[in-house]
Amino acid sequence: MTAAGRGRSGSVAEVGVLFGFAADTAVAGWRTLARRRFAWREALEQMWFLAGVTAVPAILVMIPFGVVVAAQVGALTGQIGAQSYSGAVVGLLVVGQAAPLVCALMIAGVGGSAMCADLGARTIREETDALEVMGLSVLERLVLPRIVAAVVVTMLMDSLVMAVGITASFLFQVVVQGVPAGSFLGTLTDFAHLSDFLVSQLKSAVFALLAASVACFKGITAKGGPDGVGNAVNEAVVLAFLLVFFANVGLGELYALAVPPDGGF
């Protein structure tokens, strides 16, 4: 077999192992709920940690992003004489796409890499093996609390990022581009529905679930010492971004089918 063929077969096998890990994690979650033995202390510690390392970077990323969106939308609507609809366009872009993607970037690139490195270090020090020897499930004690923490923090961060992005866009268009504040807010409230915010929350939860699952999987399967942990972190971030991209496209298409648009502006 050629090197390329071995690489493809290895990738397919790893995807299969990842799906098996996801199934085992789901079973462990159900078992934890049935026994009421969820590791709340570990989950709360991970929530505090993830919020500390992701909240400020997410805000700092979203402020210029909101300004860029406002500038581009303002220029486009000005060319076609539709400045009064800039609020609706900005709101839909920030709520439906920008906010959950920024949260995914933070939870996969910052929080996920930290989780993967932590679990990878525990694995190469054989701490996870020691837990299994003592009869403690690694999935229940270490993996599930991190996944739950990632989902909760990302959903909360999505709301914060949405508010920051819309505020930055509003201030830029009103102060710099001279768009009437009432017009911006009026079109925003007319075309941005509650379903848009709910889908944004759903996206952020799915993105966090994917990113955290990949990070935990790569962490507890890390091999080869410190170099292996570094490689696992890099692979986890890249794979998480790919899964987030496909999930974003799929959820966007499903939302378009479930909630048809109101019609033309």
Examine residue 1 and state whether it is found in any structural domain, yes or no.
no
Using CA atoms, how far apart are residues 249 and 79, in angstroms rounded to an integer? 29
Q: Is residue 123 a part of any domain in this protein?
A: yes
Alpha-carbon span 147 to 52, nearest angstrom: 16
Euclidean distance between CA atoms 9 and 4, whole angstroms: 9
Q: Round to whole Å and give the CA distance between 105 and 244.
A: 9
Scanning 143-193, the segments in alpha helix (DSSP H) are 144-171, 181-191
Q: For residue 10, is it within any domain?
A: no
The whole-number mean pLDDT for each consecutive block of 10 residues of the chain, a chain of 265 residues, reads: 45 69 84 84 92 90 84 70 69 82 88 90 86 82 92 93 87 80 78 81 92 91 85 90 88 76 51
Assess if residue 232 is contained within a domain: yes
Do the domain assignments include residue 243?
A: yes
In a domain? residue 60? yes
Query: Is 4 domain-assigned?
Result: no
- Helix extents (H) in the chain: 3-35, 40-80, 86-93, 99-106, 113-124, 127-133, 138, 144-171, 181-191, 194-220, 225-258
Q: What is the pLDDT of residue 79?
A: 66
Cβ burial 30-40 (10 Å sphere, 16+ → b, else e)? eebeeeeeebe
Task: Evaluate whether residue 263 is within a structural domain.
Answer: no
Range(s) of the domain holding residue 201? 22-253
Please give the backbone phi and psi of residue 116, each rounded to the nearest 5 degrees, phi first.
Answer: -65, -45
Question: pLDDT at position 158, please?
Answer: 92
Q: How far is CA 234 from CA 106, 109, 265, in A?
A: 15, 9, 44
Chain centroid offset of residue 81 CA: 36
Q: How many domains does the chain have?
A: 1
pLDDT of amino acid 265? 42
